[in-house]
Structure formats: C-alpha cells, structure tokens
Amino acid sequence: MGLHLLDFDLFTDTAAEREQATWRFEMRDSRQPQVSLGNVLQMNLIEIHKADRLGLPEGPLRAWITFFKHWQEELTMANVAHEPVKRAMSRIRELSADEETRRLAFVRERALRDEVSLLNDAKREGREEVARNLIEMKLLTDAQIASASGLSEAEIEVLRNEVTH
C-alpha cells in the first residue's frame, strides 16, 4: 500500500473531483480486470490543499493534514488532540528553538548528501575501471562491455579512446 500526500490539487476537472480530496486506486490486470491486487498494492492519494479546504471528519488523518498545512500556526496546532501529531509538533519546536541544533541538523544533512555523492562517485569509478579492464582484454564488444559495467555505449566509446591513446 502506498500513501502519497500531494501539495497540489490533482483532480479538478469536474465538480465531483473538486469535492473529493482522498483517493484510493487499485491495480487491475488490463486483460482480466476482475483480477485485482486489492489492498496489497493500492495507492492512496491525499490532496492536502483540498482536504484542508473541505474539512475532513475529526480523526488522525485530519490531524496530520492540519499538521502538514499549518504547523507554523500556533493557535491552529493548539487545537490538535491527536497524540502522534502533538509529539511531532513538540519535536519541531525543540529542533527549531535551539540555534546549535539547527546548525547540527544542517551539517548532518549536508554530510549525508556528501556521503551519497561520494558513494555514487566511487561506484562510477568502479564501473569505469571494470570497463577499462574489459576494453584492454579486447574480447568483448562495446555493447557487451556496457552491459557488464552498467555504463552506456557512448561512455564505453569515450573510455576506449582513452585506453587506446
């Protein structure tokens, strides 16, 4: 099951679409539509702006939508009674109240992005090294080397020119 929160209105063509904010889609086979994956792989969409405007019934979903739309509004958030949302709001207050905590969060986020970038660079270097070794063996075509290394044939051609020059 997938839950997708949309920060825009997706369905707006008809009056009925403009008055519905939560959507549930099931996957069905195109040739045998009676065969469905049902709840196993359903997709749930919530158009947050619409849900906020239409006012869903009281409950956890409404509380979370209020949180996503109005988390910076103290008076609105004071009326939310759902405990998990109250805990999330409390955590946001803790994090935003302390300059050092904000700085550390920023540094951590940057470090995580750098780590992903370095890992991607290392993977690319590894693929290029495999491709270079295969090129030097002179046993495979560029298409075969591309398939083995995960690089494109154009990238293999560039590496082949580097290796042979």
- Mind spelling out the 3-state secondary structure of the chain? CEEEEECCCCCCCCHHHHCCCEEEECCECCCCCCCECCCCCCEEEEEHHHHHHHCCCCCHHHHHHHHHHHCCCHHHHHCCCCHHHHHHHHHHHHHHHCHHHHHHHHHHHHHHHHHHHHHHHHHHHHHHHHHHHHHHHCCCCHHHHHHHHCCCHHHHHHHHHHHHC
Stretch 116-139: mean pLDDT: 93
Answer for the pair 52, 6: CB distance below 8 angstroms, yes or no.
no
How far apart CA 124 and CA 120 sit, in angstroms, is 6
Give the lowest-confidence range in 20-24, 57-61, 97-101: 97-101
1 has a pLDDT exceeding 70: no
31 has a pLDDT exceeding 90: yes
Could you give the percent of the chain with pLDDT greater than 70?
A: 99
Q: What is the pLDDT of residue 98?
A: 76
